[in-house]
Structures are given as structure tokens and as C-alpha cells.
Structure 1
Amino acid sequence: MAKQSGRNKKKPICGFCGRSATQLDAFIEGPNDIFICPECVDLCHNIIQQSQKPTSTPTLSLEEMPRPREIKEYLDQYVIGQEHAKKYLSVAVHNHYKRLFHTDSKDKDVEIDKSNVLLIGPTGSGKTLLARTLARFL
């Protein structure tokens, strides 16, 4: 397991935990006479495994999905005016949730179109406020 050649007169030391060859039997040698012990290899493996676990996204049922009216009412609390934009964004968000919900269902023949929303307007018209408020709601 460990490559210990005659050229290394010093006992190997783990570059991670600092243990010497007298405390452990085998080491893995890397480039430039750097060693790692099997326990640190296991620890590194576990860290990588934990970081690669898929994060679970909360699942919504059809009843828990926010309705366009609820989304618009929330936007009404923070944004004055822009009624058309608030209504359009509310419906777009609701359709987005429906599309996410139906990807897992058995209705493979039902297709919900994807849509994009482009907010255009002069400075100070509330584009960023709408986007931030909507993000806070979601």
C-alpha cells in the first residue's frame, strides 16, 4: 500500500494529521514525499460523500401551491401601483409551480409551456422591488 523506497531515510508523517509511521502501519505516498494515512483518506472520502449528497427540495402538493391571488396580495403589501405587472408575475409564478409539480406526476401527455418574464421600465418604476418582493415570498 505505501511506497517506501530506500531513498526515504525519514519515517513518513501524515501530511493531514501529523501521525508518524510508528503509530500507523501503512501510508499512501503522494508526490514530493508527502504521505497520508488511511484514517485521513477515510475522513476525506466521507467529507466528499457528504458534500455530493443531493440537497432535497421541499415538495409541494397541489393544495399548498400559492394561488395567483395570494401572490398578488403579498405583492400588494409592498409594491404600490404596477397592477398589471403584479398580476402577470403572480400568474407566471403560479404556472412555474404547476410545471414543477407536473414533472413528477403520471400525466406525461400534459405539457405546460415555459415562459420568461422581462421587466422593462424607467429607473425607479419598481422593477427591482417587484423581483425582490417576489423572491422573499418564494
Structure 2
Amino acid sequence: LLKILEGAVVNVPPQGGRKHPHQEFLQIDTSNIMFILGGAFDGLGEIIKGRQTKDATSIGFNSISKPTEEELADFTAVEPGDLLNFGFIPEFIGRVPLVVGLSDLNHEELIQVLTEPKNALVRQYEALFKMDGVELEFSKGALDATAELSHERRAGARGLRSIVEELLVDVMYELPSMEGVKKCIIIKEAVTDNAWPQLLDADGNRLDGDLPDGKHTVAA
């Protein structure tokens, strides 16, 4: 990456890989390209906190409490030396002049990821259910519980997909064989207690009597 970052004419395989050694390469000048590098950097927070603790001790603050897990993730205080201790080579660090620490997504932001983008997870599954003639709805409690579970797993926005898939995989399998279902409401208990979603017919009546074996739901 060093040559690419500092600005040079580099050869890039048009197929995006080197599986075809005899292919012609495209030449791209990276001098005017801005590169944004990102990652989770697991363990970097501990390095930062260790440096801060050492600095505080060296100026007389000897009573330093053991850092919590949240404190270990303070990337906003990152310095070039921390990246060096993390394992980056000095030549690489020197070519990245600006380093910005980002905080974890909070509860409200996780819900925004679930619902607001054009290709949000909720909208994707709404479209899939619509193909079977069923309207999908997530209750506010279900959205809150999904965001909270992702936060507990420390999985961030990427963890939302696995949680939603866990919620809906059985429902999507069973719905085509269930008659009269026009609406499926994902409730909070579906996230927290493995409850079955609320299924409604065209008149808004509950269809609890048609639940698959071993499944349960809760009252509205």
C-alpha cells in the first residue's frame, strides 16, 4: 500500500485479482486520490489506555483504577505511537496524516441503520414478505430489542443482519404453507423470548390457532 498511498502510477488488474497472470493491466495515477482506511482495530483501545495510564502515573497520579471495557475503546485519543505499538510499520503511519477515532453506534443510530437507508434491513424483508402477499411490520419494542441485543453482542451495525435473520428465518419458511395470513408483526418478545410473531388475517384478526408446533406468541 505504501506506493499507492504516497501517489504513483500503479498497475491494477481489470478483473480485480491476479488469477489471470497474462491479462493486461490498467495504469492508474493515485496522486489525486483520497484514501480512507477504516477498521475495528481490536486491541488498540487497550494500548491507548495503557499509554494514558502510564502518562498519568508518571506525573504523580498513582491511584489509577482498572479500566472498564468501555474505557478501553477510547479511539478518540489515538496517537501515531499507539498505531506503531499495534503493529503498523512507521512508513505506513507516516503516509496517513489524519487519524480520527469513532465511537460505537448508540441505540438510536442502530435503529436508524435498521429502518432509514434506502436498502435498510427492515425494508429488504418487507419486500421479501410482500412477494408472498404478507405485510411485514416491526413494532417499536422489537426494534429497540434488536438494537439492544446487537449492542450487548458488541456486533455493531453488522450484527443487526444476523439478528434479523434469526428472527425471520423460521417465519419465512412457514408462511407460504399458512393460509389467510396477510400481516406479520414482529413483537419485542420475538427478540427477547423467541416468541412467534403476531399473524393477522385480512380483517385484522389474530391467527394464533394456526401457529407451528412448539411455537407461542403473546397477547397484543
TM-score, length of structure 1 as denominator length: 0.24
Query: Would you tell me which structure has more strand in proportion to its own residues?
Result: 2
Please tell me whether Structure 1 or Structure 2 has the larger radius of gyration of its CA atoms.
Answer: 1
TM-score, length of structure 2 as denominator length: 0.17
